[in-house]
Amino acid sequence: MAVKDYVRWFSGIRLADVPLVGGKNASLGELYAGLSGAGVRVPNGFALTAEAYRDALTAADAWTPLHRLLDDLDKSNVALLAERAAQARDIVYRATGTEALRTEIARAYAQLEQEYGADLAVAVRSSATAEDLPSASFAGQHESFLNVVGADSLFEACRRCFASIFTDRAISYRVDKGFDHFKVALSVGVMKMVRADRAASGVIFTLDTESGFRDVVFVTGVYGLGENIVQGAVDPDEFYVHKPTYRAGKRAVLSRSLGRKQLRMIYAAGGGTENVPVSEAERERFCISDSEVLKLAGDAIAIEEHYSKNAGHSMPMDIEWAKDADDGAIYIIQARPETVVSQRAPTGFETYALGATGKVLTTGRAVGEKIAAGPVRVIADAHRLHEFKRGEVLVADQTTPDWEPVMKIAAGIVTERGGRTCHAAIVARELGIPAVVGAEDAKSVLQTGSDVTVSCAEGDVGRVYEGALPITKTRVDLSEVKRPRTEIMLNLGDPELAFHAGMLPNDGVGLARMEFIISEHIKVHPMALVNPDKVTSPEARKEIERLVRNYPTPADYFIEKLSEGIGTIGAAFYPKPAIVRLSDFKTNEYARLLGGEGFEPKEENPMLGFRGAARYAHPAYAAGFALECAALKRVRDDMGLTNVRIMVPFCRRVDEARRVIEAMAGHGLKRGENGLEIFVMCEIPNNVILIDAFAELFDGFSIGSNDLTQLTLGVDRDSEIVAFDFDERDPGMLEMLRLAVTGAKRNKRHIGICGEAPANYPEIARFLAQLGIDSISVNPSSVLRTMQAVSEAEAAGAAPPKAAE
């Protein structure tokens, strides 16, 4: 075979060429040749085939000495592994140093220079393949070289790439996976280097990496070269884009999170790369614009659709991107099928919960949704890895592929740096263990030998608690879940739990609580953002200024944050309905928000005071209500999430309902326009008594059993001394439920319940099902139990529940 056959240009490579050029290069060829017409930019390049590797070793009689080194190798003997691996690399390095390969590499490099200019910098990456397992990825096991300039340097980098087939970790990986060392070969990819060192780069997944939810594109980005993300050296910016509404023509970022982006990897003067600090001003900004995020999302969707069509089934993708500082364009530099999260068999659900609370020692990004406890082991550097014991919690600055043997025996992982696509996160996800990444003070506050609990089951924030707390684990097999005729919906407040909750069996969201988003993600009283000059506390003013610093106005901060929270919930359940309740804080709760004290009256009984619908058209809160409406309008109009319905809470009188509906219309939320449905909470006896009048104004009702029970029985549910009289099963309360359901049915209006009574008392779920209620909405942890109770009620009928004695 002529040596020139060892070079294959991307334009002549397709996915079917994996045996020839390995998975990475086959994918680059497929991207370059198959997606350029769809507007996806891929830098040009070429591959040295796996035959180049095999033929070079054959010509050098290298196979026999390699067999002697590797056939009887015990990889658990770390010193012997390192010694033999180094000898094996030397054999390959010498074998591939032929003048024929040098000539061909120089010729191909010169052709790339003609296209892009003299002294072109290229990236050199390994691309492994196995004769009997051509789909094996071998991700992260071999070497890559960046910023390689000149034919001689390129030849040297290619030889070192070939030799990296025998790194310590690659040998260990193949043994673990059962691969024959001698049925694996290496191809080398050479590609124009995108000048991301002066711009940005990152990783994209076409699903949510924690829950496996497939209707979003997850984009991460940092300044400089993207190796820092993979290595976990920095905390990246993160963005989500919703696929279905993007395909429908809506161009909006669903949510964004500002990362610390501590370092920027740049080209070093003498070749190679180096890390330099990022200025505080740059860290305060996102590394790419919304329009660039949307361009990346569009590329990712096109790539996923292309690969899925070729495969004949849905294929979530793991994609690398880079922005070129010279031309400002976004390039895709790698794409491969995502092989961890997407492979989880959806046969059942496991949920984890803490059985007690404890002191939080540190927080970071949660990876996975599990909880684990164990003694801490702080590892300062790789030389101390031998100290690690099975079942300990690994605490480190960051991890690399060399740490994987230790990670496999860890109960949990905590790193000071990294985002949810860093090495530690990827490996933890694959191993199914909880990890908290980006916990910047972990090594100083977590002490070797002390017991901790690593919790990733509380949303996006991962927490490390002091001590070994009790952990409860529940598994439900989906085959055992019977879906009732009555819709079973979810109550939800935290957007960070939405993607996971959306994958449970459900019929949508019956109650999305806006106040959780305001208190946990916005933290500021709406009126303090409308009138920041009226905030009296210097401490509150300073904190508000910090929170809104990156926004054109304080109001923009509120609208963006609230719309992202609501939008995330709407996207997680799209196209099923997501009923979002307008803010329903009591005055004492509003006052606890930043800057809130000066805007709230002091009330003896806030439960029956200035709350719910009474606030929205009132001068004391009308400007704050306008911000809530602006956020909801952005979710429905700009994001395209028209499945979001709006619900008015604590609406005492029909005239009050009219005023609120008029105010909403004045803010662009007109009932009936663009399919907008407006619901009302049925939680005051007057809502039940005048249900015919309320039905003329609203599209549906949701029974708030907590407040309706409180007001029907005259029991303050916040008072412990009379709490024994609070019982949703009281005969009077059951009559209220009956009147509400039959009244709504009489008016052909949707009627549901969003209190926890049906979950706490299955007999109430059965009673409501017997009445023919349209939906029952409960917390995610109760959904499967409620489905079972309602299914049984529908099958057998049921008598009214009995009140507690």
Active site residues: 423, 754
Question: Mapping DSSP to helix (H, G, I), strand (E, B) and coil, where does residue 458 land?
Answer: coil
**Helices (DSSP H) in 207-312: which residue ranges?**
227-231, 243-247, 280-283, 290-311
**C-alpha distances in angstroms, 230 versus 140, 207, 319, 404?**
9, 17, 12, 14
β pairing state of 184-192 and 121-130: antiparallel
Q: What are the φ/ψ torsions at residue 202 (nearest 5 degrees)?
A: 175, -160
β pairing state of 750-753 and 700-703: parallel
- The span from the CA of 401 to the CA of 382, in Å, is 11
Instruction: List 201's β-bridge partners, or say none.
Output: 222, 322
Q: Are 169 and 385 in contact (CB under 8 A)?
A: no
- The span from the CA of 784 to the CA of 669, in Å, is 35
Q: Given the structure tokens 């940092």, which residue do they identify?
A: 222
Distance of alpha carbon 718 from the chain centroid: 36
Q: Quick one: DSSP state of residue 148?
A: E
Q: Return the ∠ at Cα 513 (arms to 508 and 518), rounded to 5°.
A: 135
Which of 580, 583, 654, 646 minimizes the C-alpha distance to 612? 583
- The span from the CA of 498 to the CA of 502, in Å, is 6
Q: Quick one: DSSP state of residue 637?
A: I
- The length of the chain is 805
- The span from the CA of 29 to the CA of 247, in Å, is 26
The first and second tokens of residue 726, run together, are 């609070």
Sequence-ordered list of residues with C-beta below 8 angstroms from that of 343, at least 6 positions apart, any chain: none
**Helices (DSSP H) in 117-167: which residue ranges?**
151-163
b (16+ CB within 10 A) / e for 435-453: bbbbbbebbeebeeeeebb
Q: Are 163 and 93 in contact (CB under 8 A)?
A: yes
The first and second tokens of residue 100, run together, are 């024929």
- The span from the CA of 120 to the CA of 114, in Å, is 9
Q: Are 418 and 424 in contact (CB under 8 A)?
A: yes
Continuous segment of H or E residues that includes residue 351 = strand 348-354
Q: Return the ∠ at Cα 136 (arms to 130 and 140), rounded to 5°.
A: 105
Distance of alpha carbon 497 from the chain centroid: 10
| Neighbour tally for 477: CB within 10 Å | 10
β pairing state of 255-257 and 471-477: unpaired
